[in-house]
C-alpha cells in the first residue's frame, strides 16, 4: 500500500470529553519493555490495578506497549498478536481487561518500523502502520481498544515521506473513521512543538524525550514544561512521559516529589512499575487522594514554576476554588522552612507562598499553621500546600 491511498480528506476534530482531566493508567514499557511482555503479565497487572485500589483511585487505562505484535502481518494485511506471548489474541485480552472495569490501550507506530524493531532488535517486518493506517485503526476498534499510543520511531525514514504533523494527522483521520471513541496519545518527543498543533485532534502529546529511572531525568523533563501551560486544558494535555515511581533508581523522597511535580503539571499519570510486586509505600503514593485531587482538578490548569531562591523552586497551580503551591528543594543539602505570619518562608525570611488559616499540607492532610517551628525540607523533597482561593 502507498502513502497516497491510505487516508485522505480533512482531519476531524477530537472529542474532548474523552479526556476532561489528565488520563491515568499503567503502561508496560518502563518495566517490561519488549521480550518480558506477556498475556499473563498484562492480566496479573490488571488484577493488581483492581486489588491495589488503583482502578478506584482513577487509573483506568491499561496500555500494552510495543512487542505485542506477531513478527508479520496476516495474509489479509492485519496485525496479529504474538502467538507465544499473547496466544488468546488481543480481542480476548481486551475483553478480560474490560471485565475488570478497566480500559484497553495498545501501541502502534506510523512508519515502517516500531521502536522495538529499532532499539530492541525485535525481529518483525512490516508491522508499522505506514500505508495501513485505516486497516490498523479498524483492527484496533474491532478489538475494543479505548486508547492508542502512536509512537514516532523514526517514521520519516525508509522512503515514507512522512513528517511529524502529517503522520499523526493520518491516524487521527483513521481513528475518526472507525466511529469508536479512542483516546489518542501522540508520541513524537516534542521534536516538532506538538503543543502548537496536536491539540486539534490529540488528547495528549509528548513534550519530551523518554523518561528514565533517575532524579536527573525527572528534573530534565519537568524543566522542559516551562512555558507550555497555556497549551493544556480539559480535553488535551502536555505529556512529560510516564511515571517512574516504584522503579529502581528513584528513592522514596524522589518518587514522591516526582509524583507531586506531575500532579502540579496536570500531566497524564501512567504508572510504569511492576504493580504485582510493588511495595506498600509505592501503592500508598500512587493512590494518595490529596495529590490525585490536585492532579485531577476539574479546572484543568497546568501549574508553572513561579519563583526560584537558589536551589529552591516554587510551583503554582490554580485549582477549582483553591490554589496549590509546591516548594521543591533541588539542592543536595537539607533546608529549613517555617510558617511566619501568613506565609511559608525560608529560614532567611524569603517568602515561598502565602498561607491562610485553611492551608493544608497535601501529603499529611494537616493544617500548615499547626507547624510553628522550623521544619526540614530534605534534599530533593517537595512540600505541597493547598489553600482556598
pLDDT digits (tens, 9 = 90+) for 222-275: 999 999 999 999 999 999 999 999 999 999 999 999 999 999 999 999 999 999
**Rounded distance, CA 39 to CA 364, Å?**
38
Catalytic residues: 151, 210
Q: At what angle do helices 133-142 and 164-178 cross, to 10 degrees?
A: 40
pLDDT tens profile 297-322: 999 999 999 999 999 999 999 999 99
3-class state of residue 375 by DSSP: strand
**Rounded CA separation 192/92 (Å):** 37
What's the pLDDT at 7?
46
Inter-helix orientation angle 215-223/252-264, to 10°: 10
| 106 in Cβ contact with 63 (< 8 Å) | yes
pLDDT tens figures, 332-366:
999 999 999 899 999 999 999 999 999 999 999 99
What is the grid cell recorded at 187?
A: 508520541
Q: Which of 17, 119, 116 is nearest to 66 (CA)?
A: 116
The pLDDT of residue 375 is: 85
Contact between 207 and 224 under an 8 Å Cβ cutoff? The reply is yes
| C-alpha torsion sign, points 170, 171, 173, 174 | positive
Strand order in the sheet with 304-309: 304-309, 312-319, 322-329, 382-388, 360-361
Whole-number Å distance between alpha carbons of 171 and 157? 18
Asked if residue 300 lies in contact with residue 263, where contact means CB atoms within 8 angstroms, the answer is: no
Q: What is the pLDDT of residue 370?
A: 82
Which residue ranges of the chain lie beneath pLDDT 50?
1-8
Query: Percent helix, strand and coil across the chain, each rounded to 5?
Result: 30, 20, 50
Given a contact cutoff of 8 angstroms between Cβ atoms, the answer to whether 90 and 68 are in contact is yes
Q: State the Cα–Cα distance between residues 113 and 81, nearest whole angstrom.
A: 16
Instruction: Give the C-alpha separation, 56 to 60, whole Å.
Output: 8
Strand ranges of the sheet holding 61-64, from the earlier edge strand across to the other edge: 237-239, 204-206, 183-187, 147-151, 103-108, 61-64, 24-27, 269-271
Residue 194's CB is within 10 A of a number of other CB atoms, namely: 25
Cβ pair 282, 300 in contact under 8 A? no
Are the C-beta atoms of 187 and 21 separated by less than 8 Å? no
User: What's the pLDDT at 10?
Assistant: 66
Q: Is the pTM of this model over 0.75?
A: yes
In whole angstroms, give the CA distance from residue 43 to residue 93: 8
Amino acid at each position: 500500500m502507498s502513502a497516497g491511498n491510505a487516508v485522505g480528506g480533512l482531519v476531524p476534530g477530537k472529542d474532548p470529553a474523552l479526556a476532561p482531566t489528565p488520563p491515568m493508567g499503567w503502561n508496560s514499557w518502563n518495566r517490561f519493555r519488549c521480550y518480558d511482555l506477556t498475556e499473563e503479565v498484562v492480566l496479573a497487572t490488571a488484577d493488581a490495578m483492581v486489588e491495589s485500589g488503583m482502578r478506584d483511585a482513577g487509573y483506568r487505562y491499561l496500555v500494552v506497549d510495543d512487542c505485542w505484535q506477531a513478527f508479520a502481518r496476516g495474509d489479509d494485511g492485519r496485525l496479529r498478536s504474538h502467538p507465544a506471548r499473547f496466544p488468546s489474541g488481543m480481542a480476548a485480552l481486551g475483553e478480560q481487561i474490560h471485565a475488570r472495569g478497566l480500559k484497553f490501550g495498545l501501541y502502534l507506530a506510523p512508519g515502517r518500523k516500531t521502536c522495538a524493531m529499532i532499539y530492541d532488535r525485535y525481529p518483525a517486518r512490516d508491522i508499522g502502520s505506514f500505508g495501513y493506517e485505516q486497516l490498523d485503526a479498524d483492527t484496533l476498534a474491532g478489538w475494543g481498544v479505548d486508547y492508542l499510543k502512536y509512537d514516532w520511531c523514526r517514521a520519516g525514514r525508509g522512503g515514507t515521506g512522512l513528517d511529524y504533523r502529517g503522520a499523526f494527522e493520518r491516524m487521527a483521520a483513521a481513528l475518526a473513521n472507525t466511529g469508536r471513541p479512542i483516546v489518542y496519545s501522540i508520541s513524537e518527543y516534542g521534536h516538532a512543538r506538538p503543543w502548537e498543533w496536536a491539540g486539534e485532534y490529540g488528547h495528549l502529546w509528548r513534550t519530551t524525550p523518554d523518561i528514565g529511572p533517575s532524579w536527573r531525568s525527572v528534573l530534565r523533563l519537568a524543566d522542559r514544561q516551562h512555558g507550555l501551560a497555556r497549551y493544556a486544558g480539559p480535553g488535551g494535555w502536555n505529556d512529560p512521559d510516564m511515571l517512574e515511581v516504584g522503579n529502581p533508581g528513584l528513592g522514596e523522597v524522589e518518587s514522591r516529589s516526582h509524583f507531586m511535580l506531575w500532579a502540579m503539571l496536570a500531566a497524564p499519570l501512567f504508572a510504569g512499575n511492576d504493580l504485582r510486586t510493588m511495595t506498600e509505600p509505592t501503592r500508598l503514593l500512587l493512590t494518595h487522594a490529596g495529590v490525585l485531587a490536585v492532579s485531577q482538578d476539574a479546572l484543568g490548569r497546568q501549574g508553572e514554576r513561579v519563583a526560584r531562591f537558589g536551589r529552591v523552586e516554587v510551583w503554582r497551580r490554580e485549582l477549582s476554588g483553591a490554589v496549590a503551591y509546591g516548594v521543591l528543594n533541588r539542592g543536595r543539602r537539607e533546608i529549613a522552612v517555617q510558617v511566619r505570619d501568613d506565609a511559608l518562608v525560608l529560614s532567611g525570611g524569603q517568602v515561598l507562598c502565602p498561607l491562610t488559616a485553611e492551608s493544608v499540607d497535601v501529603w499529611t492532610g494537616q493544617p500548615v499553621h499547626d507547624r510553628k517551628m522550623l521544619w526540614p525540607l530534605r534534599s530533593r523533597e517537595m512540600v505541597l500546600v493547598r489553600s482556598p482561593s
